[in-house]
Amino acid sequence: MRARSEPAWKPKKDLTVLNRDIPRVDGPEKVTGAAKYTHDIRLPRMVYARFWIHPYPRLNLTKVDVAPALKVKGVVYVKALKEAGEDVRYQGADAAIAVVAAETPEAAEDGLRAMIIEAEELYPPMVTAEQALDESSPKIGRGGKNVNVREERGDEEAANIALDTVDVLIEESYSLPVQHHVCLETHGSVVDYRGGDEATVYTSIQNVSGTNASAARALELDADKVNVITHHMGGGFGSKFGIGIEGSTACRIAKELGRPVHLMLTRGDEFLMGGNRSGSQQTIVGGASKDGRLVALVAKADRFGGTGGGAFAGLPYIYKVENSFFESRSIYTATDSSRAMRAPGHPQASFGMESMVDELAFAVGIDPLTFRKQNLEDPVYHRQLDRVAKEIGWDAHPNKTEPGAVDGTRQVGIGFAISQWGSRSRPGSQCEVRIEPDGRITSTTGTQDLGTGSRTYVAAIVAEEFGLEVGDVTARIGESAFPTSAGSGGSVTTGCSAPAIKDAAHNAREAFEARIAPMLDAEPGQLVWRGGEVISAQDPQKSLTWKQACAALGSEPLSAMGEWQEHLRSQGVHGAQAAKVEVDTVTGELKVLKMVFIQDCGLVLNRLAARSQVNGGQIQALSYGLLEARVHDPDLGLMLTDNLDDYKIAGVQEIPEMISIMDDDDDRLAVMGMAEANCIPGHGAIANALFNACGLRLRDLPLTADKIIMGLSDRS
Amino acid sequence: MKAFELQNPVTLAEAARLLPTKEGDESARLLAGGQDLLTELKHHLVEPDRIVNLKHVPGLDAIEWGADGGLTIGALVTLQDLAEDERVRRELPILAEAAESVGSPQIRAMGTVGGNLNQRPRCWYYRNEHAVCLKKGGTECFAYEGRNKYNAILGGGPSYIVHPSDLAPALVALGAQLMLASPDGQRQVAAEDFFTLPSEGNVLRETVLAPNEILARIVVPPPASGMKSTYLKFQERSSYDFALSAVAVCIWMDGKKVKEVRMVLGAVAPKPWRVKRAEALLAGRELDADALKAVGEEALRGAEPLAENGYKVPLTKGLIVRALQKLS
Ligand SMILES: Cc1cc2nc3c(=O)[nH]c(=O)nc-3n(C[C@H](O)[C@H](O)[C@H](O)COP(=O)(O)OP(=O)(O)OC[C@H]3O[C@@H](n4cnc5c(N)ncnc54)[C@H](O)[C@@H]3O)c2cc1C
């Protein structure tokens, strides 16, 4: 037996499938509606369940009478999740007072409305930072506090002393509102349990392999008897790592009724309890020397993560500052906890830092591109910034060191920002490649495709290994019964699963070669897999078609497992953003004309899917920058934007020309996830472009027309 | 939404007879394209027992031109049909632009002219079932001291909604007449008099329409020759959105001088806000920088912004300038 050789990615020039534009393998299914998302699952005798969520955050329940719901035709199940006398502590899952299940969604809703739930509302509702920070307010946060210091970095005294020496000093506050994930598919599960000791749980989750244990617990079944399925998913963005109370409740109802249960959150419930990206308020004091060196920075950031701690990447973020101090605090409110959301903490930190850097650049009179490069050590950022500057047309742009004027015309501006992401990965993911005697070949792993395109490389990596086309390989993903794969968070998906897929393909090829090499009078390892054939390296006359080779397996399929291999992955993504905007200095209309983003990410498995991720990241940042904000009434405690009319996200008309570039100067021949760095800097670059266009510096997102108009009328 | 009985009358009179007669009786509601009513039903803002579907009444979906050049628009004409009508686009661009500015293509394909004029406010508090505000029979306008970025700067009190319709300011500017049918016959009301301020009428409604009246047709009188017109709407999100502010202008020029102008503001007041004094100020003047500045000042005179909607003042002034520049 030959010693096993190490799998390795082929050099880019030798790749025939990977590192090219590969259309998604499930594209046709998705566009024809054949793809079944959790929401679409319909099962015999299935019931629809819904929560009764109280809209007010802090309550003392005085009456919980769910019985009237049972009188509604079609209602088959009601249950109080809280009793009279109990408290509701925050808006969100804690305010789910009862649940109902019925033969139709309409009957379920009628059932909810028939219940009698009364409560004393505790004042103040504690939905704003002002309420949390008010000395006289009740203490509702973690550890009986409304404020917790989370992180301190650097020497404040030294940084303050350094600030005294700078040529230019700027002190400003920057703020970002709470943002929602707005997954097109809301959270929820369809639990198929009809008695017995087995169940299938369809769920919209970004952590398939890690979910059967919790589902089994809720169902009181053995974990190996519960298969969790997420074949298709309408987005997660970090908000869907666990089945949540919506999933466990669905499991319990199914167990009690012995009938399948469909429990998907309504859009309104999704806004109230589906998680969010924490807001932030940052005070930054920055100082630079005349020649454009960042000398000192003192930054204090508050995170608004509801009952959660919120997230905030440290400052000075990526820039090199000689003396810096950073402190962050969590401010607790009685609202739904923040969750991970696409690059947690980074879009907030990036906005504050990139705004400050831009302000200092203009204050010292050095153009913002040069200023940035002067304060960045990593040469990757230099080349990336130069590239986006070229694509956006910076050279020909007039406003280099002075912004345009407010003169009644439309003004064009350009802004920059940068980003980073770790894209780490970890051991544990596995994959099985199986070749059938009839020529079928499958690649099976428990990973999930959130809409990102991961399913496509599950097939493509194997196709590359055997010289096949992507369509020849069937990717099977999204079941907890499949070989384990990592949850999709922090851009680990590709770094965790692709090495295991590659390893399985490699192992399958070696085993296959051992079987068929003799038929070609060749040694294993001396075969070439190309164009649907396997060819002897010594004697190219000797070859088998893929089908012939598979038939040689006899009656049993060939199966090989693969494991995560550290050397097949790398980590560390850099990104640079440029944005070009046009602002109407009469009406304040801000239009983003163009966005350019470049990033590196080692070996790009599928260039089309990667660019699509970059497009999506830029759009999410644009939407954050231009429109998105959660709004509460501070007195009534109600969330006023719990729907997609009032929580505005960008639509087609907002989308500018977009250029998404893979940094091909990156020569790391290893893979990593790549979908976070691109959603970090966009809104900062747009805010900087607005300033560049007309001299209006807005430090409070979103950059809506009302703020721009007021700012412009102050200036003119 | 609450279960209801769907009724499909085939004449206007029959439809009107199916509607409640008493003010405050919410047992039945008229349905046209459903783009507003369905959202109200889903959010339980109204819970009628019966829905009276107007769509089976024939003859209400026509755009007709009289021999005199006047235009009659049936209440069931869709916004899309109005926006795409060649002659409307040519002769009454203000109307085509207003119709085209509504919502998204899907909304325009379903939404009707009658439904557009009779749609209910979009105020955050009105639309939130749990906020029992003045408009929903409560005692307080929560927007007044609450979150009021989208609310009224003119004509507010005791309610501070803005009228959401894009067609309304355009029709008021055009001097349109509304034909209202009831079981007792028909009456005609000028578009300008159709909409009411909360301080003038019933705070629960935005128009003078009686509970059993139906808007059947809209008549736009033939404009005096030489009219130029435009509807300029500013929205926060261009993909689809209600107006933050809008300006409807019909103007007649005499060389470089303004002969006559009619100007109506949208999304700044609880009803389409005609600015007669600003109109008068322009008569006989050239549209120079001074005039443009003065007309903006005059149009917004008396504006009383709330905490979060002061931007509507400069915005509206800016739109007025843009609209007049476009037409001159
Ligand atoms: C996402 C979205 C965006 C929108 N954007 C805009 C916008 O930008 N600008 C804008 O102006 N509107 C907008 N609308 C509001 C509205 O839906 C449309 O304007 C549409 O014209 C309503 O017409 P409809 O026929 O669908 O009305 P319906 O929903 O059928 O009716 C609306 C109301 O009018 C009453 N009604 C209908 N017809 C008559 C009649 N003939 N006589 C008396 N009463 C009648 C109904 O009882 C109901 O109360 C938007 C709506 C949505 C959902």
CATH number of the domain enclosing B301: 3.30.465.10
Q: Is the pLDDT of residue A716 over 90?
A: no
User: What are the structure tokens assigned to B195, written together?
Assistant: 């909409």
Q: Which residues of chain B have pLDDT under 50?
A: none
Q: What is the per-residue pLDDT across A227-283, written as a single tens digit (0 to 9) for each?
A: 999 999 999 999 999 999 999 999 999 999 999 999 999 999 999 999 999 999 999
User: What are the structure tokens assigned to B18, written together?
Assistant: 């199916």
Calculate how far, in angstroms, residue B326's C-alpha sits from the geometric centre of ligand 1: 29
What is the C-alpha to C-alpha distance for residues A396 and A409, in angstroms, rounded to an integer? 20
For A567, which DSSP code?
G
Quick one: pLDDT at residue A409?
86
User: Taking the alpha carbons of A92, A93, A95, A96 in that order, is the dihedral positive or negative?
Assistant: positive
- Minimal C-alpha gap between B148 and chain A (Å): 10
A62-101 as b/e, with b when 16 or more CB fall inside 10 Å? Answer: eebebeebeebebbbbbebbbeeebebbbbbbbbbbbbbb
- Looking from the CA of A345 toward its CB, the CA atoms found within 13 Å total 18
The total number of structural domains that make up chain B: 1
Residue owning tokens 């769910």? A66
Q: Is residue B224 part of a domain?
A: yes
User: What are the structure tokens assigned to B295, written together?
Assistant: 């007309």
Q: Is the distance from the beta carbon of residue B100 to the nearest atom of ligand 1 less than 6 Å?
A: no
Quick one: pLDDT at residue A130?
97
Q: Is the pLDDT of residue A562 over 90?
A: yes
- Interchain CB contact of A182 with B (< 8 Å): no
User: For A297-316, what is the mean pLDDT?
Assistant: 97
Residue A588 Cα distances to A273, A359, B234, angstroms: 35, 21, 10
* Closest Cβ–Cβ partner in A56, A641, A653 for B239: A653
Q: Is the distance from the beta carbon of residue B80 to the nearest atom of ligand 1 less than 6 Å?
A: no
Q: Is residue B221 part of a domain?
A: yes
Residues 50-69 of A with CB under 8 A from B: 55-56
CATH 3.30.365.10 residue ranges in chain A?
12-35+425-568, 38-123+187-264, 279-423+570-715
Q: If you write DSSP's letter for every residue of A297-322 in order, what string do you get?
A: EEEEEEEE-TTS------TTTTS--S
User: What is the average pLDDT value for chain A, to the nearest integer?
Assistant: 97
Q: Is the distance from the beta carbon of residue B211 to the nearest atom of ligand 1 less than 6 Å?
A: no
* Closest Cβ–Cβ partner in A631, A641, A709 for B314: A709
* Closest Cβ–Cβ partner in A627, A634, A712 for B237: A627
For A16, which DSSP code?
S
Q: Is the distance from the beta carbon of residue B178 to the nearest atom of ligand 1 less than 6 Å?
A: no
Quick one: pLDDT at residue A2?
47
Counted residue by residue, chain B has a size of 328
- Minimal C-alpha gap between A161 and chain B (Å): 40
Whole domain around residue B231: which residue ranges? Answer: 61-328
List CB contacts (< 8 A) between A55 and chain B. 130
What is the C-alpha to C-alpha distance for residues B197 and A96, in angstroms, rounded to an integer? 40
* Closest Cβ–Cβ partner in B104, B124, B311 for A646: B124
Indicate which atom in ligand 1 lies nearest the CA of residue B112. Answer: 25
User: For A460-476, what is the mean pLDDT?
Assistant: 98
In terms of C-beta density within 10 A (0-12 exposed, 13-18 middle, 19 or more buried), how is residue A517 classed? middle
Express as a percent the part of chain A with pLDDT over 90.
98
Q: Is the pLDDT of residue A1 over 60?
A: no
As a whole number of angstroms, the longest Cα–Cα distance in chain A is 87
Taking an 8 Å cut-off on Cβ atoms, the answer to whether B310 and A650 are in contact is no
Q: What is the per-residue pLDDT across A47-94, written as a single tens digit (0 to 9) for each?
A: 999 999 999 999 999 999 999 999 999 999 999 999 999 999 999 999
Calculate how far, in angstroms, residue B286's C-alpha sits from the geometric centre of ligand 1: 39
Q: Is residue B44 part of a domain?
A: no
Number of other residues whose CB lies within 10 A of the CB of residue A282: 26
List CB contacts (< 8 A) between B321 and chain A. 586
List CB contacts (< 8 A) between A106 and chain B. 3
Indicate which atom in ligand 1 lies nearest the CA of residue B241. Answer: 8
What is the C-alpha to C-alpha distance for residues A457 and B217, in angstroms, rounded to an integer? 60
Quick one: pLDDT at residue A143?
92
Q: Is residue B67 part of a domain?
A: yes
- Chain B: residue whose CA lies nearest to A651: B239
pLDDT band with cut points at 50, 70 and 90 for residue A3: low
CB pairs under 8 A between A and B: 92
Q: Is the distance from the beta carbon of residue B166 to the nearest atom of ligand 1 less than 6 Å?
A: yes
The preferred substitution site among B25, B36, B218 for testing ligand 1, maximizing ligand atoms within 8 Å of CB, is B36
Taking an 8 Å cut-off on Cβ atoms, the answer to whether A587 and B315 are in contact is yes
The CATH architecture assigned to A38-123+187-264 reads: 2-Layer Sandwich (3.30)
Quick one: pLDDT at residue A408?
82
If you classify domain A12-35+425-568 with CATH, what class do you get? alpha beta
Q: Is the distance from the beta carbon of residue B35 to the nearest atom of ligand 1 less than 6 Å?
A: yes
Taking an 8 Å cut-off on Cβ atoms, the answer to whether A705 and B234 are in contact is yes
Helical H segments across B152-311, by residue range: 167-173, 191-194, 276-282, 289-299
Q: Is the distance from the beta carbon of residue B32 to the nearest atom of ligand 1 less than 6 Å?
A: yes
Q: Is residue B324 part of a domain?
A: yes
CATH of domain A279-423+570-715: 3.30.365.10
pLDDT band with cut points at 50, 70 and 90 for residue A558: very high
Taking an 8 Å cut-off on Cβ atoms, the answer to whether A587 and B322 are in contact is yes
Q: What is the per-residue pLDDT across A166-208, written as a single tens digit (0 to 9) for each?
A: 999 999 999 999 999 999 999 999 999 999 999 999 999 999 9
Q: Is the pLDDT of residue A479 over 70?
A: yes
Q: Is the distance from the beta carbon of residue B231 to the nearest atom of ligand 1 less than 6 Å?
A: no
List CB contacts (< 8 A) between B146 and chain A. 633-636
Name which of A386, A415, A380 is nearest A400 in CA terms.
A415
What is the C-alpha to C-alpha distance for residues A107 and A111, in angstroms, rounded to an integer? 6
* Closest Cβ–Cβ partner in A106, A642, A710 for B310: A710
Q: What is the per-residue pLDDT across A656-705, written as a single tens digit (0 to 9) for each?
A: 999 999 999 999 999 999 999 999 999 999 999 999 999 999 999 999 99
Residue owning tokens 């923040």? A338
Question: Pairing between strand A657-662 and A590-599?
Answer: parallel
The preferred substitution site among B30, B101, B167, B239 for testing ligand 1, maximizing ligand atoms within 8 Å of CB, is B30
